[in-house]
Amino acid sequence: MRPAILFPLFAETCTLPGVGPRLEKLIAQVAGPRLKDLIFDLPTGVVDRSYRPKLITAEAGRIATVTVNVLDHLVPRVRQQPYRVRCSDDTAMIELIFFHAHEDYLKKTLPEGSQRLISGRVERFNNKLQMPHPDYIVAPGEEFPLHEPVYALTENLPGKVLVKAIRGALEKVPALPEWQDPAYLKARGWPSFGDALRKVHAPVHEADLAPTTPERQRLAFDELLANQLALMLIREAMRAAKGRALKGDGRLKAKALAALSFTLTEAQNQALAEIEADMASPTRMLRLLQGDVGSGKTIVAMLALLGAVEAGTQGALMAPTEILARQHMAALEPLAEAAGVRMALLTGRERGASREATLAALADGKIDILVGTHALFSEDVAFRDLGLVVVDEQHRFGVHQRMTLQGKGEKVTDVLVMTATPIPRTLALTAYGDMDVSRLHGRPPGRKPVETRVMPATRLDDVVEHLRKAIAHGARAYWVCPLVEESEKIDLAAAEERAEELKRTLGSAVGLVHGRMKPAERDGAMEKFKSGEIQVLVATTVIEVGVDVPEATIMVVEHAERFGLAQLHQLRGRVGRGTGKSSCLLVYQAPIGETAKARLQTLRDTDDGFVIAEEDLRLRGPGELLGTRQSGQLEFRMADIAVHGELLAAARDDAGLILSRDPDLKSPRGDALRTLLYLFGRDEAVRYLRAG
Ligand code: ADP
Ligand code: MG
């Protein structure tokens, strides 16, 4: 249950004076539906009204506060013209300019002959001083704030309204019990939660907006601590669930290894040893296997699955898409055969009698390893005894969270998540802090470096010419045209046009795959590319090219500037898998800035996925990197992972210490920490605490 002390902050914004249904909607767009969302809506700027010049020295372009005498009103003769009010001090004149003015109102606020204090942006036009639409006009003695926070707005939501709403929300912040260690706060020089909030919303200088101020750090640390505590609580609960020790005898693994045409790399052996140790322990395995596309994760997963079978249980391998499930099946079936293990495929496409037969065999234990998509977790799928689940997340995130929660209370299975995105260490902590991590470092086995070139779209003709020659020698190429959400239709049309154009220049060996195609159509095109019937495959997204075609040696990416570095790195990983020399051409649409170009150069200079990921994080921030929209648990409002990495590590240590002393958060500080979890929306974790 949410602590009563937080009730005021969980009230809806329409409870604030002056906020009705219309404003409530607009406020929800920029901040959220509740008062707590308003207090966490950080200012993005500050208006400084402390510049108080005499008119003669007033600098154009600056916000100024000036004391003036109102001389006269110049009422426009036609509606299109602005209303002007002439004013002066003892040094110069200034004209106040109003469009769509209400004469009565202006006559009342700016009576001729009166003195007024006004504030707004000063401009110079035809060598005359002007101030269009002053922000404040008051009589001498009246006041307005000399420093105002600026917040991100949306259409029809006036800044002043949002400022007032946030101020109203701040007044409702109760005195909360301190959840941080007082000694730590003192050492860091951090204020209390309430003081930090009030300070953050009252910037005076630009510097006050920096994420490194004591108050911003304090709030970031609060959020990170909530995040780490929640992950640890979930992790503990997962592990406390009566796990089982799965210990294979190695006989199936030996057969599979003998059937491989290669030996495992050191990194693979290391990762496998870590996984096997987890499986053999009586606590539940929750492990993340990280490694670039093609780094050899799948074979490691297969050997782990064989271990589960050796131990007398079944295994499941879940892929994010139909096509990848089929690819895993095709790649692993020979190994299963060599080991004498029964393997089957189950996706949304298996229906009717064959599906029934698979389900029956599965329940009987006649299938040892099941490969498939989300369909594996349909309600009617029952294993005889599922020991290990491998989730191949590829480029997607957030699946494991659901998986682990799903498994709660049901039969306890070990879980191994594979991800092809080299996640920076800091991010791995926040996204996968509830998991142990194994990494497959180094260039994927058997990979040759891919020559990478960055060029403007004006040189597209050269690219096509290069392609034409390579095709003549039997090469195969990917040509990626990205879609952006806002203009998907236009982009898709562009991709179709590109495919047509390439067809004309190169002959008929061009195919197109895009996200709007039916899966069967898409698979058909992919098959043709695999078989060589299609030599150039124009594709619109990353996922469609998630297929292993060793013969492909050229990757062209149009609008490379629209992709993140990690995505480009993954795209590049699609080539350089076979014996041929491969190249990657990153074509950008000018104009792009220097930093954007530098980003692309990073890719040219390194092929270490982890280095690229760190760079990507630094340049773009975590939200974009991970596609926060799909994975709510990564959304931080106070913390900026790119800046607060050090705080994250500290929060992790702190969370560990807290839970080692007070695992059920029952002490007074534990109680305060529960409040913290609710405040930052991490209360899911509270469910895992024993009552009390
Ligand atoms: P990932 O799942 O990490 O994307 P895969 O497991 O699909 O990578 O491996 C990519 C390719 O490398 C596959 O063709 C696989 O057979 C091959 N491979 C895996 N491990 C090795 C190894 N140790 N030596 C040589 N080739 C390997
Ligand atoms: Mg793979």
* All structural domains of the chain: 4-46+149-209 (no CATH), 50-144 (2.40.50.140), 251-440 (3.40.50.300), 450-606 (3.40.50.300)
Query: What's the gap in Å between 566 CA and the centre of ligand 2?
Result: 16
pLDDT at 644: 87
Mean pLDDT is highest, among 3-17, 620-634, 636-650, for 3-17
For the ranges 67-81, 365-379, 466-480, 510-524, which has the lowest average pLDDT? 510-524
The backbone torsions φ and ψ at residue 98, rounded to the nearest 5 degrees and listed phi first, read: -130, 125
164/422: higher pLDDT: 164
Q: What is the tens place of the pLDDT at every residue in 32-90?
A: 999 999 999 999 999 999 999 999 999 999 999 999 999 999 999 888 899 999 999 99
By alpha-carbon position, which residue is closest to atom 20 of ligand 1? 296
Query: Does ligand 1 lie within 6 Å of residue 446's CB atom?
Result: yes
Query: What's the gap in Å between 295 CA and the centre of ligand 1?
Result: 6
Confidence of residue 546 (pLDDT cuts 50, 70, 90): low
pLDDT average, residue stretch 198-227: 95
Query: Does ligand 1 lie within 6 Å of residue 294's CB atom?
Result: yes
Q: How is residue 417 written in tokens?
A: 């998540």
Query: Does ligand 1 lie within 6 Å of residue 299's CB atom?
Result: yes
For the ranges 257-266, 273-282, 395-404, 654-663, which has the lowest average pLDDT? 395-404
Q: What is the tens place of the pLDDT at every residue in 311-365?
A: 999 999 998 888 889 999 999 999 999 999 999 999 988 888 999 999 999 999 9
Query: Does ligand 1 lie within 6 Å of residue 315's CB atom?
Result: no
311/628: higher pLDDT: 311
C-alpha to C-alpha distance for 140 and 419, rounded to whole angstroms: 65
SS3 for 314-377, per residue?
A: EEEEECCCHHHHHHHHHHHHHHHHHHCCCEEEECCCCCHHHHHHHHHHHHHCCCCEEEECHHHH
Atom of ligand 1 nearest to the CA of 264: 23
pLDDT at 485: 57
Atom of ligand 1 nearest to the CA of 263: 23
Query: Does ligand 1 lie within 6 Å of residue 550's CB atom?
Result: no
For the ranges 79-93, 309-323, 524-538, 543-557, which has the lowest average pLDDT? 543-557
By alpha-carbon position, which residue is closest to atom 23 of ligand 1? 264
By alpha-carbon position, which residue is closest to atom 9 of ligand 1? 296
Atom of ligand 1 nearest to the CA of 295: 3
CA 126 to chain centre: 49
The backbone region for 474, taken as left when phi is positive above 0, alpha when psi lies in -120 to 50, beta otherwise, is: left
Residue 578 near residue 608 (C-beta atoms within 8 A): no
Query: What's the gap in Å between 390 CA and the centre of ligand 2?
Result: 12
Query: Does ligand 1 lie within 6 Å of residue 295's CB atom?
Result: yes
% of the chain at pLDDT higher than 90:
55
Residue 359 near residue 350 (C-beta atoms within 8 A): no
Q: How is residue 150 written in tokens?
A: 């600026």
Q: What is the tens place of the pLDDT at every residue in 195-205?
A: 999 999 999 99
Query: Does ligand 1 lie within 6 Å of residue 578's CB atom?
Result: no
Query: With 80 as the cut, is the pLDDT of residue 620 above it?
Result: no
Query: Does ligand 1 lie within 6 Å of residue 540's CB atom?
Result: no
**CA dihedral for 394, 400, 403, 407, sign (positive or negative):** positive
User: Any residues with CB less than 8 A from the CB of 431 and at least 6 apart, and which?
Assistant: 397, 423, 626, 631, 633, 634
Ligand nearest to the CA of 302: 1
The backbone torsions φ and ψ at residue 536, rounded to the nearest 5 degrees and listed phi first, read: -120, 120
Query: Ligand 1 pocket: which of 261, 263, 272, 299 to mutate (most atoms <8 Å of CB)?
Result: 299
Q: What is the tens place of the pLDDT at every residue in 241-268?
A: 667 889 999 999 999 999 999 999 999 9
Query: Does ligand 1 lie within 6 Å of residue 321's CB atom?
Result: no
Q: Looking at 504-637, which runs of residues are DSSP E strands? A: 510-513, 536-539, 552-558, 583-588
